[in-house]
Amino acid sequence: MVYRLIIYFSFYSFVGWLYESTLYTITHKKLINRGFLNGPCCPIYGFGAVIDWLCLGRLSNPVAIFFAGMALCCSLEYFTSWFLEKVFHARWWDYSQRKFNIKGRICLLGAFVFGTMSVIVVKIVHPFVSGKLDLFTDKQIMWVAIGLLIIFFIDTVATVFQLTKFNEKLKDLQASINNFLNEARTYADNAKNSISSNARAKIETVRSKLGGNAAENVGGDEIDNTIMAKLKNLSLSRREKNLSKNIYRSTRYNDAMDKIREFLGIKKN
């Protein structure tokens, strides 16, 4: 039973990754890997589908499956969003711009999609997948499950290491940005009382550009040399560049994230 669950989880995680990556690639008109892990895997879909089957598999009423699936999957999505934000200080999705959302973690449209998917999985997809898995022997299922579990474990460890390292880079860059802004503001404040009104107006213009989100307001030629040097020396890996595309918002180092996106020529979504 456990080995079958591992295979089910892996299958639905892959299908979820395929769905998410295809959807975001089409809507954003650029190739996007939406997986949390390095590999083609969205674990939240795997957990959601397995939980649906375990909890709702005995229900026959599609309406009951729909509403129960909504509740189960929305609870999972909310907890996952909260957990990722607490551990990695970032959000992979944010529904704040959608109507009827709860803290941007879940929304009514997503709940409707989850309910519909729950009905499809429980009534159509899973019986088919389970039937196909019955064609293999218990030993074959066991070895495939063990192999998938090892791959998932290695990928998870590698992902956590990469995210931790990336957050350290963001923290360092954010500190440099904050120091630069503070120094610029201090200089402007000290100079205001001893310069001409014309020069004061120019400084105020610079201050307005520096205020708020630096990555949004300041062009590449206006970035402080120290920050630019740090950006050039970050040596971002392919995974970190992919994270820069995919992470919707870094909750602690948002200015640094936007600076990296600007440096890489990535447009804000």
pLDDT in tens, 137-167: 999 999 999 999 999 999 999 999 989 988 9
Copy the structure tokens of residue 163.
């995210």
pTM: 0.79
Whether residue 143 lies inside any domain: the answer is no
Number of domains in the chain: 2
- Of 100, 119, 135, which one is at a domain's C-terminal end? 135
Contact present, 177 and 218 (Cβ < 8 Å): no
Residues 119 and 178 in one domain: no
Q: What is the chain's mean pLDDT, rounded? A: 84
- Of 135, 170, 205, which one is at a domain's C-terminal end? 135
Whether residue 68 lies inside any domain: the answer is yes
Residues 230 and 107 in one domain: no
Whether residue 157 lies inside any domain: the answer is no
Q: pLDDT for 7-47, tens place per residue?
A: 999 999 999 999 988 887 887 777 777 777 888 899 999 99
Q: What DSSP string describes 52-104?
A: HHHHHTT---HHHHHHHHHHHHHHHHHHHHHHHHHHHSEES---TTSSSEETT
- Of 117, 135, 153, which one is at a domain's C-terminal end? 135
Range of the domain at 204: 162-264
Residues 34 and 121 in one domain: yes
Whether residue 229 lies inside any domain: the answer is yes
Copy the structure tokens of residue 58.
């005995």
Q: Which amino acid is at 261?
A: R
